[in-house]
Amino acid sequence: MTIEKIDLDLCTGCGICIDSCPMDVIRMDRAGQKAVIRYPQECMNCEQCALDCPEEAVTVTPYKTVPLISSWG
């Protein structure tokens, strides 16, 4: 779905993708070493993270899943 993965072997933790994301989907891990996909549901497939990552560590796909609607949530 949307932002699919960040390849941790490639990620250097530079943080560029975090600034590139208008939707606050990506954050740094607790140790501040690697980027992690924290809020994938907000991803709008804009691709900026993938385009801007100098290590080409980010994969974005065309697919987006939406949670099932329930009576409250």
Partner 1 sequence: MIECDVLVIGGGMAGWFAAIKAREQGLNVLLADKGYVSKSGETIYAGDTAVFDPDAGNDLAAWLEQVDVIGEYMNNRHWNELVFRDSRERLADLRSYGVQFEEKDGRVVRLPHPHANIVLPDTHKFPPTVSEVVHWLPGFPEKVRKHLIKIGVKLKDRFMVTELLLQDGRVAGAIGFSIEGNRVEVIKAKAVVMSAGGGGFRPVGYPTHELTADGHAMAYRAGATITSKEFVSPHSTNPKDPAWPPMYLFFSAGHSAAQPGMYSAPHLFNAEGDEVAARGVAWHGWIDAEYEAHEGRAPLIADLGKRGVLPVSGPGGHGSMFGHATGGIVPVNDDCATEVPGLYAAGDSCGTCFIGANYSGFGFATAHAAATGARAGLGAAAEAKGLGADGGIDEKAVAAATARLLEPLERKGGFTPNWVTQVLQNTLAPYFVLYVKHGDRLQAALSTVEFLRDHIAPKLYARDDHELRLAHETKNMILNAEMKVRSSLARTESRGTHYREDFPGRNDEEWLAWMRLKQEDGRMVTFKQPIPAEWRPDAAKSYEERYPMRLPNEVPGSGAPNAAGEGR
Provide the binding-site residues for partner 1, judged by CB under 8 A.
2, 19-24, 27, 38-39, 41-42, 44-48, 62-64, 66-67, 69-70, 72-73
| 54 Cβ neighbours under 8 A, 6+ residues apart | 12, 14, 16
35 C-beta neighbours (distance < 10 Å), count: 24
For residue 72, the partner it binds in partner 1, ligand SF4, none, with Cβ less than 5 to 8 A by kind, is partner 1
Secondary structure (3-state) at 14? coil
Can you give the binding site for ligand SF4, defined by CB under 6 A? 2-3, 6, 11-17, 20-21, 23, 25-26, 35, 43-49, 53, 55, 57-58, 60
